[in-house]
Amino acid sequence: MQLTIKELRKQSGKTQAEMAKILGLSSANAYSLKERGERRFSIEEARVLSDVFGMDIEDIFFGTSITKTVN
């Protein structure tokens, strides 16, 4: 089962205000819009979420790791 970004944030013990500050957003409301899917996270923000949650970007947003094969 894939956890939502809200669930991941709560598991990490962070508030929306703390996440907004970490991502450089203007307010907790700005973060809330992204967390609810009303606004999209940028790739830079996705990288920060990956660091904060200790997960791959693919796992956070798609629920599965994508593996690359090099031929």
Any idea what the CATH number is for the domain that residue 48 is in? Answer: 1.10.260.40
Region 46-58: mean pLDDT is 96
- HSE-CB at 71 with a 13 A cutoff on CA atoms is 0
- Is 19 within a domain? yes
Q: How far are the Cα atoms of 8, 12, 25, 31 from residue 18, in angstroms, in the given order?
A: 14, 11, 10, 9
Q: How do residues 8-36 score in pLDDT, each as one tens digit?
A: 999 999 999 999 999 999 999 999 999 99
User: What confidence score (pLDDT) does residue 69 get?
Assistant: 47
Looking at the structure of the chain, the number of domains it has is: 1
- Is 71 within a domain? no
- Is 69 within a domain? no
User: What confidence score (pLDDT) does residue 60 get?
Assistant: 93
